[in-house]
Structure 1
Amino acid sequence: MLFEIVSFLLDVVVGLISGASLLRMYMQAQRVPFSNPVGQLVFALSDWIVLPLRKVMSSKGRWDMLSLLAALLLQFVEVLLVWLLLGAKGALLALPWLALCGLVKVALSGMMGILLVYAILSWVQPYSPIYGVLQRLSDPLVAPIRKFVPLIGNVDFSALIGLIALQVLLMVLNYVQAAGLMVIAQSSL
């Protein structure tokens, strides 16, 4: 039971900080200003790991690859700590794979959170100050869906369909992760 508690708390903390790092990268790519409360929270959660990386390397272009690297490093440290807590022997090859799968899960879960809050605000309070930020972050996913799904009774279901698609992707990722672990486990025997 103690292992599950520690693992859960570690997953929450690492998921929150790596999610903030990924959101930092995504907000920069979408050119969302960081002067809003979400941007300030993202900076507060991710500055401690991203800024030291900027001293060592530089990031150029639209995508902040150092924020991605920070999120991946955090996921790897989480997987390594869980591996050490379990006292596992061998299967070190699985750690980078698990970290990468964890990173993709955080990205998909974060996008699901953005879409969920965006959908709720669009139905309840579309004039909220945070609505514009969420709209800019969710538009790359829902804009293509809107081309195929018309408004039904003046209600936009594109965010709901996006949520369903992301959930399906999470299911596929879980299957791919398990299959990859099986291959790694069989090759280490």
Structure 2
Amino acid sequence: MTNALIFLISTFATLFCSALFLRAWIFWRRIPYFNPYCAFIYKLTDFIVVPVRKIIPSSSNIDFPSLIIAYIICLVQLFLTTKLAINSIDGLSEVPVDMSILPIAALKIFINGLLSMVLWLGIVYAILSWISPLSPFQSFLRALLEPILSAIRQTLPKSLQTAPIDISLMLLMIGIIALQMIVV
């Protein structure tokens, strides 16, 4: 029972944090609201971001409320799952949770979640480029990922920039996996 509850909390927190990360990324990229995928992300997260935005404004490029809420969700997720895991072990229900390490561990979950979201978007982008390169979702993913991929392409040697195969997405994925290993 406890494992199922921990799974549900972790899954909900991860999915909602991914929506908040996407919202911040959409804000950074200035993708228009009339895009149906952007509208979906905004409608999914407006209930919590709009009130927080009244307290913590966004800058011109960074959607601070979305990122702060995602971090708080990571913090709450970590606290709840740790407390549930400790309480499920007999004899350890009275062990207090060390609150001093929670912010750092939540930051690790936050960074790992952000990197995982970019990795999965890259995988979907690659698969859709083979299956359905003209789909509307592909153009949405292109708007999100192309600035990163073009920056990677510009750092490559000229011989690889003009090669018939674009390896920028593969290099992005390798870099993300390496960063995830460093974070862990």
Question: Could you state the TM-score of these two structures normalised by the residue count of structure 2?
Answer: 0.84
* CA distance in structure 1 between the partners assigned to 2:121 and 2:22 by the alignment: 10
Equivalent residue number for residue 157 of structure 1: 167
CA distance in 1, matches of 2:162, 2:68: 39
Q: Distance in 1 between matches of 2:67 and 2:33?
A: 17
1:168 equivalenced with 2:175 (yes/no): no
Tell me, yes or no, if the aligned pair for 1:36 and 1:130 is still in contact at 8 Å. no
Gaps of 5+ in 1: 175-189
Runs of 4+ in 1 over 6 A off after TM superposition: none
d(CA) in 2 for partners of 1:34, 1:130: 14
* Number of matched pairs: 172
* Residue type at the aligned position of 2:115: L
Whether the aligned pair in 2 keeps the contact of 1:79 and 1:95 (CA below 8 Å) is: yes
Q: Distance in 2 between matches of 1:10 and 1:72?
A: 15
Equivalent in the alignment of 2:136 = 129
Task: Describe the SS at the equivalent of 1:130.
Answer: helix
1:1-189 alignment to 2 at 5 Å?
Answer: 2-85=1-84, 86-87=86-87, 88-147=95-154, 148=156, 149-150=160-161, 152=163, 154-174=164-184
Amino acid paired to 1:92: M
Corresponding residue of 1:182:
none
Asked whether the equivalents of residues 151 and 157 of structure 1 are also in contact (C-alpha less than 8 Å), the reply is no
Structure-1 separation of matches of 2:47 and 2:14: 15
Identity %: 30
Structure 2 unaligned segments of length 5 or more: list them: 88-94
CA RMSD, Structure 1 to Structure 2 (Å): 1.8
TM, length-normalised to structure 1: 0.82
User: Deviation of residue 74 (structure 1)?
Assistant: 0.8
Amino acid at match of 1:105: N
